Amino acid sequence: MAISPALTAVKGFAAAETEREYTHARELCARLGDSLELSPVLFGLWVMYLVRGELRRAHEVAEGLLQLAQSAHDPELRLYAQIALGHTFLWLGGFIPAKEHLESAIAIYDPEHHQTLALRYLGFDAAVYCLSGMALTLWQLGYPDQALIRGNEALAWAQRLFDPQSLVLAERFLGEVHLFRREANAAKENAESLINRSAERGFSEWIPRATTLRGGGIVLQGRHEEGIAQIQEGLAALRATRFELWRTTFLCLLAEAYVETGRLDDGFSALAEAQAVADKNEEREHEAEIHRPL
């Protein structure tokens, strides 16, 4: 269990070494019958499958987390199980159940008792994770103002915690909400803050996602070629690390930028890749955007 988060930081969430150690930890927990230790192990596996885009496997692990919590009658375990299910449903396109699970998690969260749990769950504070996921869910359900409110709440809470891991998480989700709202300057500022903070803290895996986000903000500012280069750089890094999540989002934005510069064939190629990624992973969070007329 000590090795797994360290490997996550050094090798990345989606690395084969990370999967091997979490799988080993799960086997040991099962042998010992230790449900309290098994929960953060399953959560680590869930994050790994999620970022790889293996959404069905992520959903199975999230369901296992919930079953574990129900059998143990433990609100701590239920808190992170609801988070896992909420985020998984978001990417599967089940926005109503995503909202319900995240609301359930927020209702469980007690700062006095649950704030320190982040140390066991990859450094992510549960409230920040809930509020950030709720921001994207509300956007997809058609509530852009509420989405921004929740995203800002996540960032404010992470700032109060002085928790760098939760802070980069909140900045990443809030930046995407700004991007969807076509708030170019805010999206770019979020991305640059995320890049600087990740570099300072050695959170190298966040930098490709922040680079694509910054590129998206630059595209919305009308500097298409510069933005295209940034998005391409970030996407290449994501592919190299097996990080599938968010690729569809930025391939759609890349296509839009190509069309704006008259590169229609490149635009259609980007959309075809986005659809292929969505189909392979059963990722439906951003699929409607693929079919939006450009």
Q: Residue 35: which pLDDT band, with cuts at 50, 70 and 90?
A: low
Cα→Cα distances 167→92, 122, 210, 216, Å: 25, 13, 13, 21
CATH architecture for residues 1-108: Alpha Horseshoe (1.25)
pLDDT tens per residue across span 232-260: 999 998 888 778 888 999 999 999 999 98
Average pLDDT, the chain: 90
**Which residues contact residue 13 at a Cβ distance below 8 angstroms, ignoring those fewer than 6 apart?**
47, 48, 51, 52, 205, 243
Q: What is the pLDDT of residue 203?
A: 80
* Nearest alpha carbon to residue 289 among 184, 211, 176, 192: 176
Q: Following DSSP, what letter does each residue of 27-79 receive, concatenated?
A: HHHHHHT-HHHHHHHHHHHHHHHHHHT-HHHHHHHHHHHHHHHHHHT-HHHHH
Q: What is the pTM of this model?
A: 0.91
